Amino acid sequence: MPRAFITGLAGPVLTDDERRFLTEADPWGLILFRRNVATPDQLRALTDAFREAVGRDAPVLVDQEGGRVQRLTAPLWRKYPSARRLHAAAAGDLSLIRDTARAMAADLRAAGITVDCAPCLDLGLPDQSQVIGDRAYAGDPAAVAAAGRAAAAGFLAGGVLPVIKHMPGHGRATVDSHHHLPVVTARFEDLAATDFAPFVALSDLPAAMTAHIVYTALDPDWPATQSAVVIGEIIRGLIGFDGLLLSDDVSMNALTGTVDDRAARSLAAGCDIALHCNGLMAEMEAVAAVAPMLEGRALERAERALSHVREPDRVDLDALHARLDAALAADGSGVGL
């Protein structure tokens, strides 16, 4: 059985040390970033090499949302609009959001990528950190839920597993969790009525990612990723999510302590899998050392999630691209790409 963590890599080619690490540590999956992406042929070779090293058809993940967060991008891949721009261009036609996700999925599958850490179900709110910003479809929970449902359907139709994020809601954060720990002081009643609502609506989806945020009304001591209260009572309880739960990146500066302590605390709190992204070998080895074998409920959830990675349906990708181009050209919202 693989271990309950996802790893990054340093660059576009698997090194001998990385190959040995992957074979010995056997992470559940690999996550890719811009530093790992050069050309379509190179990227497919890298994902093939990863699977050869671990000896199975393991999941390969990426953050491919469109807009600012797109690891496969121009000039060798199509540039897609941000969630906010796409939502504006769709003007209520959710099939455009679905079709765009379906087109994005085709790019990913061609590269050997089977999991997309998208869509964001975080709300677009005033005064929020721009770490979310236009990555949010809208500020209205119902609109976000509907758009997220459409995007997830498009990814699934394209044979890519979507990961909804950042549970239970990153929209109120006023600092970037890559650098600082956000603290949200909203009342429980307000969180339940707004931030949690898109996640409740999509709680049947197979995979999700946590938020590195302290919600003082829920647990004043620990961020959601490391809070047994938030994961047990809110994510698994109130929201009703029983799918595969990934931590956000444990190397982000919102968390404190050594990287192995961060990963161990996340797993102990109830995350099924710890995500480590930066590709630094010493940290990769430290996370691997504390990650248990994937077993029990976590293994069941992982297998259930991956059962959704199926052969893509047949579509006319040129027609999908043309439809998106026409909608963006006709959009008069003034929202940027």
Classified as helix, coil or strand, 110 is: helix
Backbone angles phi, psi at 52, to 5 degrees: -65, -40
Distance CA 62, CA 118 (A): 9
127 catalytic? Reply is: no
Distance CA 91, CA 319 (A): 19
Classified as helix, coil or strand, 293 is: strand
Q: From the candidates 178, 242, 261, 331, which is the catalytic residue?
A: 178
Backbone angles phi, psi at 191, to 5 degrees: -60, -45
87 catalytic? Reply is: no
For 113, residues 6+ apart whose C-beta sits below 8 A from its C-beta are 32, 47, 60, 61, 62, 64, 160
Burial class (CB in 10 A: 0-12, 13-18, 19+), 282: exposed
Q: From the candidates 26, 107, 219, 248, which is the catalytic residue?
A: 248
What the block records as the tokens of 75 is 């000039």
Classified as helix, coil or strand, 267 is: helix
Residue 119: CB atoms within 10 A of its CB come to 30
Q: Strand 27-32 and strand 183-184: pairing?
A: unpaired
Residues belonging to the active site: 178, 248
